[in-house]
Structures are given as C-alpha cells and as structure tokens.
C-alpha cells in the first residue's frame, strides 16, 4: 500500500510529462514529404520514422518501468527526457536519412515519462484514487495527438520541417526542468537489484490476472488502431469528404476518449474499476453495432460511420484508466515494471490487430470491413472484460 503521508506528485507535472510522451508520435507527420524531399529519399524510406519510433516506444515501455523500480522514478524520467532533447536536436541538424532516423528512434525514450507517471501515481495513491488521477492524466494526454498535427503543420508551413524538432527540443528542456524541480521521488523503496525486475517480468507474465487485463487493453487499443488505419479508406469510399473534414471527423474519437477519461477521474471513488472496464466495452460494442447496421443498410453519410465510432473513444476512456489502475495494484513493489510491461504488450497486441485487419480491409469494402474488424476486436475485449469481472467477483485468480 502507498504511504498515506507521502505527498502525491503535482498533477500538472504528470500531465505535461505524459503529454510529451505522446506528442512526438504524430506532430511532425505533415512534414514527412518535406523531409523526404530535403534529405533526397523516397517517401516510404522516411516513413520508417513512424514505424521505427513505434518499435522504440514499445522497447522503452518495457524497460523504463523496471528501471524506475530499481533506481527511482525521477532519475529515469530525467535520463529519458535528456535523451529525447538531445535526439530532437540531432533530428533538427540531420543532413542525411541515417542520422535523422537514428535520432528519431532515440526520441522514443520520451515515452518513459508515461510509465513513470503511472508508477508515481500508484506510489502515492490507493487503487480508486489512482484510477481517478490516471483518468485526469489520460484525458489531458489525449489532447496532444489531436492538436499535434495542426501545430506541426503550421511550423512546417512557416519555418520548415526542422522547426518541429526544434520545438521538441524546447519542450524536452521544459520537461527536464519540471521533473528536476517539481517532481519529488515517490519510489521510497527501490529494489536491490535488477534481478528482482527480471523475476517480476516472469511473475507478471505467469499471472492469469495480469494477462487478462493486458489482453483487454490490447484489444481495446487494437480497436482504435483499426479505426486509425481504416478511416481514410472509408472516407474515400464515402466520397465528398475533404482532408479537413476527415481530420475533424477523426478528432471526434480522441475527444470521446477525453470525455470518458474525465468521467473516470470524477467518479472513480464511487465505482469499482471492473465496472468502468465492462461499461466501456459494452459502450464500444453498442456503438459499433449501430455503425455496422447503418453501413449494411446503405447509409453513406460520413457521420453514419464516424458518429458511432465515437463510442470507441468513449469506451476506451472508461476502460484504460481503470485497467491501468488495476494492473498497478497487483504488485505495488513492481508498479513500474507492471506499467511498462502492460504498455508494451498493449502496443504490440494492438499493432498485430491492426496488421491483421489490413489483410481483410480494402477500398471497395472499407466501410463494412473496418467496422466489422473493429467490432470483432471489441467483442473479444468485452468477453475478456466479463471474464475479468467474474474472476474478480469470485476471487478465482492465480
């Protein structure tokens, strides 16, 4: 249990560090054509800046939480932000694609801030308080990918693509300052050796409880990944959907996530985590069933597809903070390890789901196939959530 006398970290610091962990994912995406042209490579080559970054973030999640259990939350956050800042400067100065991609992948270190933030919350909060604080952090965290591409596009238009990475470097400096001067160390009992963390990985992976929660989260985020990869194809199939309109429609989903996460933050003291998880999965499945029905009925207005998809954001907003709070509560001494491992498994699982959906989705069948793939993943997530709720009620876990 966390020490009741230990002061919780300032929420604004955790929000800032978590937002900085996700902002680099897509803020510079509008600059990809400019980067390819300036560095003299084909577009598909520079597009590796996205795929490689995803791999780097999964690896960072996997080790950052465990390192924070061993050496403390604050040192790991400071190192991660410092690496990110230096890598951002490297990207801004790169004159060839190899240097650019190497520095871009090193930027993935910043995602340690998310795992560290969750672990710091768990260090200083019981489960329901943790769900509330994670809900607030998640609702603010979701804003970053909404505004990132707009901000990045403006920088690219007025100052060139390198301005994006100068902005990242400045944000990195700001993050280092916030952690150094406003984040107190919350891990009062660091482990004695990394062997504890390695054994912790094994203990967690052998735990049916941990695996069930990780699977539920992977399927929930996988539903979102299918939407992100398939929405442009659907927009093209439905016609009369401009790039601006597509951006607005797609922004409705993270807006739903913000609402759902904020609701968890406000009400978690009155409801159990499993109630939020199951409710989120039911809400998502219900919305996607409505959307699929509209597409099968031949309704072709973009809102017939994108409107029901808001349920994905709302449902994930309810599910993810509550599920993360539960995962962090299983082994309080391994909060960082559990946070990082769960995040890595979620990203890997969601990526596999998105890849699998790409095998069945193509331009002619996009609207029905995308909703069908999303609904399949969501129904599996609901089945996992119901299994979790039953097992928690009967205490049948190992």
pLDDT of 25-43, one tens digit each? 778 877 888 898 999 988 7
pLDDT-derived band at 3 (thresholds 50, 70, 90) equals: very low
Name the residue ranges covered by the structural domains of the chain. 11-184, 200-394
Question: What's the pLDDT score for residue 286?
Answer: 97
Tokens representing residue 173 in the block: 């400096």
Nearest in space to 81 (alpha carbons), one of 139, 143, 18, 10: 18
Question: What's the pLDDT score for residue 5?
Answer: 46
Q: Which fold has domain 200-394?
A: Growth Hormone; Chain: A; (1.20.1250)
Tell me the Cα Rg of the chain: 21
| Res. 81: pLDDT tops 90 | yes
| Domain 11-184 grouped into CATH 1.20.1250.20 | yes
| Res. 380: pLDDT tops 90 | yes
DSSP at 27: T
Same CATH fold, 200-394 and 11-184?
A: yes
Choice among 219-223, 242-246, 355-359, 370-374 with the minimum mean pLDDT? 242-246
Question: What's the pLDDT score for residue 44?
Answer: 75
Question: What's the pLDDT score for residue 242?
Answer: 67
CA distances, 122 to each of 8, 250, 258, 390 (Å): 9, 32, 21, 25
Q: Which pTM value belongs to this model?
A: 0.79
Question: What's the pLDDT score for residue 284?
Answer: 97
DSSP at 368: H
Listed as own residue / partner, the contacts of 144-149 with beta carbons closer than 8 Å and 24 or more positions apart are 144/19, 144/20, 144/22, 144/23, 145/22, 145/23, 145/25, 145/26, 145/254, 146/251, 146/254, 146/255, 148/23, 148/25, 148/26, 148/27, 149/26, 149/27, 149/29, 149/30, 149/247
CA atoms of 106 and 254, how far apart (whole Å): 26
Percent of the chain at pLDDT exceeding 90 = 39
pLDDT-derived band at 202 (thresholds 50, 70, 90) equals: confident
| Res. 323: pLDDT tops 80 | yes
Burial of 184 (0-12, 13-18, 19+ CB in 10 A): middle
Choice among 78-92, 256-270, 370-384 with the minimum mean pLDDT? 256-270
What integer is the mean pLDDT of 152-174?
93
H runs (alpha helix) in the chain:
11-22, 32-39, 43-46, 48-71, 73-93, 97-106, 112-124, 127-141, 143-159, 162-182, 194-206, 208-238, 243-267, 273-296, 302-329, 335-358, 366-394
Tokens representing residue 358 in the block: 């790409």
CA atoms of 224 and 393, how far apart (whole Å): 29
Average pLDDT, the chain: 87
Question: What's the pLDDT score for residue 239?
Answer: 67
Tally Cβ neighbours within 10 Å of residue 193: 9
Question: What's the pLDDT score for residue 135?
Answer: 86
The top-scoring range by mean pLDDT among 70-74, 127-131, 144-148, 188-192 is 70-74
Question: What's the pLDDT score for residue 397?
Answer: 67
């Amino acid at each position: 249990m966390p020490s009741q006398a230990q002061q919780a970290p300032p929420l604004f610091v955790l929000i800032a560090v978590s937002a900085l962990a996700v902002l680099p994912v897509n803020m510079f995406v509008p600059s990809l054509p400019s980067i390819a042209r300036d560095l003299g490579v084909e577009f598909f080559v520079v597009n590796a800046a996205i795929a490689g970054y995803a791999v780097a973030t999964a690896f960072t999640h996997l080790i950052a939480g465990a390192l924070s259990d061993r050496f403390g939350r604050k040192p790991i956050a400071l190192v991660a932000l410092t690496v990110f800042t230096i890598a951002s400067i490297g990207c801004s100065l790169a004159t060839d694609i190899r240097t650019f991609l190497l520095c871009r992948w090193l930027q993935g270190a910043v995602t340690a801030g998310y795992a560290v933030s969750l672990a710091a919350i768990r260090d200083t909060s019981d489960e329901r308080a943790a769900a509330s604080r994670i809900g607030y952090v998640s609702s603010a965290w979701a804003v970053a990918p909404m505004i990132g591409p707009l901000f990045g596009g403006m920088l690219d238009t007025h100052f060139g693509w390198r301005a994006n990475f100068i902005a990242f470097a400045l944000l990195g400096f700001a993050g280092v300052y916030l952690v150094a001067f406003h984040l107190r160390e919350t891990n009062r009992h660091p482990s004695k050796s990394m062997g504890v963390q390695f054994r912790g990985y094994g203990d967690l992976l052998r735990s049916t409880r941990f695996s069930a929660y990780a699977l539920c989260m992977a399927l929930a985020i996988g539903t979102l990944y299918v939407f992100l990869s398939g929405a442009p194809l659907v927009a093209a199939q439905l016609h009369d959907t401009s790039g601006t309109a597509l951006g607005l429609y797609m922004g409705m989903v993270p807006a739903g996530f913000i609402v759902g996460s904020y609701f968890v933050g406000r009400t978690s003291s009155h409801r159990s985590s499993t109630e939020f998880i199951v409710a989120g999965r039911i809400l998502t499945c219900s919305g996607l069933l409505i959307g699929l029905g509209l597409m099968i009925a031949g309704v072709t207005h973009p809102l017939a597809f994108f409107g029901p998809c808001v349920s994905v954001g709302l449902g994930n907003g309810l599910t993810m903070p509550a599920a993360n709070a539960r995962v962090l509560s299983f082994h309080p001494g391994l909060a960082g390890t559990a946070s990082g491992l769960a995040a890595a498994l979620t990203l890997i699982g969601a990526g596999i789901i998105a890849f699998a959906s790409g095998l069945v989705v193509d331009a002619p069948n996009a609207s029905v196939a995308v909703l069908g793939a999303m609904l399949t993943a969501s129904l599996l997530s609901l089945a996992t959530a119901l299994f979790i709720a039953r097992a928690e009620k009967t205490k049948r876990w190992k």
